[in-house]
Amino acid sequence: MKYDITTQIAVLPVVDYVSRYRDTERFIKFCEVCNKYNRCWACPPFDFEPTDIIARYKTIYIVGTKIVPDSNSWRQSETKEERNNEWKKLLSNVRKPLDEKLLQLEQQYVGSRAFYAGTCFNCPLEQCTRSQELPCVQPQTLRYSLEAFGFDMVRTASELLNIELKWEDNNNFPEYITLISGFMTNQEIALDIENSFD
């Protein structure tokens, strides 16, 4: 599938992001009805308090990755299942290098924390060891998403990244999809961080 990618980055103090965009009581309800709840190590409920982690950091970089697929390439799929598979493949193709870049930033800025755009892609859900009450098999690359920590992705996208999130409507796929990653740090980040995600 052919596609174009554009990136938007917003930077603000973590305390401001928490006060304006975090609502754990509201968003945990969405998590509780998701099939990944308590079945994936990257998803709630957690055996730690996310607030304690968030409170360690001063600045957050929010990375919006807008993916616009070529309509002629993905509409050739005949069934909804085929289109779903195309979307999953597309997300995987974009997430893999995006996640790697975030982990590279963690190595460059020691003590910082990356947040992936969505759930864990390390293992298929049915293979996640959480269901067997066993430790994660890839803890070195396990990261959480901002939404898993109770942040509002719709408002984050619209107010901070100037991107309107699009959703599937009556079996029609959206014209684009948006991935929202994060990077919390206490360090001064080089001004070329935007180039890191091109």
Question: Model confidence over 7-42: pLDDT tens digits?
Answer: 999 999 999 999 999 999 999 999 999 999 999 999
46-96 pLDDT, tens per residue?
A: 999 999 999 999 999 999 999 988 777 655 556 777 777 777 888 889 999
Q: Structure tokens of 158? A: 């619209």
Q: What is the mean pLDDT of the chain?
A: 89
Count Cβ neighbours within 10 Å for each residue of 98-137 and write b for 16 or more, e otherwise.
bbebbeebeeebeebbbbbbbbbbbbeeeebebeeeeebe
CA distance linking residue 123 with residue 116, whole number of Å:
14
- In angstroms, the CA 43 to CA 35 distance is 10
pLDDT of residue 179: 95
3-state secondary structure 136-174: CCCCCCCCCECHHHCECHHHHHHHHCCCCCCCCECCECC
At 120, list the tokens: 């864990």
- At 128, is the secondary structure helix, strand, or coil? coil
Stated pTM of the model: 0.91
